[in-house]
Structure 1
């Protein structure tokens, strides 16, 4: 009999196959605008956007953040990358018997602070306690709802001046040849900071998690106009995000290695540890696809925000095979494969 392995929840090809065969296949289709089987960051039913996340971060508190901050930021970001405005969060907390109440207070205070900073209130919740040894300290599940905004309508009107736009939302299947790919900032920070702190490698002294809500930065990008798709590159990182887009939009994406924003410390850490920074999860970045005529406008808009100051254009969409091609810094080309699993588990 087959058993669950860590890669079934790691965000790569193994997880996608597992979800399609063993989870989604058992549920009835809901007739949603963006349904479960599309496996976008959120579902859409009658212009209401809905998402849910489970958080199993280890350790609970790390350089730059904690499980509480991730639970709010990650859920807000999932709503926002659809092009919607997040309006409310629900929270379920499961605690292990014996956990210090001081730690619970610290994490709940962080959740509240992050909620206030992004302007999305926590409006309902549930708390359970499990006996000692039955749970690893704390698990938080957050869900959120959002609504369609005039910003999204205006944004897609701009995009439709330049080409036919397939979807009414910023879905994974909305790319077309000619579109431009933008990364909102340096990649790999969260995964490297958490892994280093957890294992005692010492890189966390110069690299901190990027975890933050991105709804305000995304709103500025939508105001510029021309965005057709967005995704926060969490589990599986940039490599997984771009390969999902290729598969769902039936396009080829070509990126420039030299243009991808990466901190020197992240590059050094990944070289030492033998992991690819483009396959590491992020919690405070978004990857954007927009029509080419508006790419510079979108880039300038998000660079004016604190969260997007290191944003860069990293590639373009082309006709071709459903794959990601990376032009290397030495002038060659290689295929950027989707990760089969997550090189840094339990970071979100």
Structure 2
């Protein structure tokens, strides 16, 4: 399948640069995956499409302030590291910019020596393996020195770092937010539970590989980076019971979707599990667990629009995206949402 089959025209002014003041006031496009019918709503209307007995699955990962800006010890030259994946307690795989300064053995200082980094190896695709040395607790130091790693298409400064976290974020470890969840408020989640809908959590630590462009000509040649996930027994039992009753499993975001589909067996059952997934979902894939999906609007030719197309059909999705452009929906991380229902 050709990557260009997932292209669409997106004016730059539709890329949202900041979150709305009220999380659940964003627009919501409801797409019927079987008929292609489109309805325009506001995000808090999502509750109207959920029935008692359905289960909402949310990713409770928390974004690390993973962008560190410091200087080379000998020359004082500026360096920027983006933490991608923790290898052990003090060793991380990082993106280094400019990479030419980050040779093996080079040392860098952050916060006037509060944190020292040494390049120990060069990993996959030129990423650096970094060993940090410091006194105290790494996470506390990172909270002091690190910046939120906003996507490159967001050019405005984020005043409140918590707006790039979901209200239910808990497990630290992501390099990017599971953005579909940014629309939920605690009040909306409470109303959803009061209606008799199960709300369960899993964890997938989002890596930048999720957003890596597809450089191959055909999507079958593209390889996804692996990301760590965990699903508890409690969540698994509720999801399985939902399927057995014939209710809907509603996944919030592509990260929750990839986790559920990675864990599921051929009968659509899930179980308590931790591990790494590099699952790549594109048209032709048969979903085993996920019945409906809440997601944002994604980049042209991205793996994320391919995942969505596998659920709702490429023609329905591209028509919905072209409609979103025409109706001036806001795109990407701080943009509006789509709810794919059946």
The TM-score with structure 1 as length reference comes to 0.24
Of Structure 1 and Structure 2, the greater helix share is in: 1
Of Structure 1 and Structure 2, the greater strand share is in: 2
The TM-score with structure 2 as length reference comes to 0.25
- Compare CA radii of gyration and give the structure with the larger one: 2
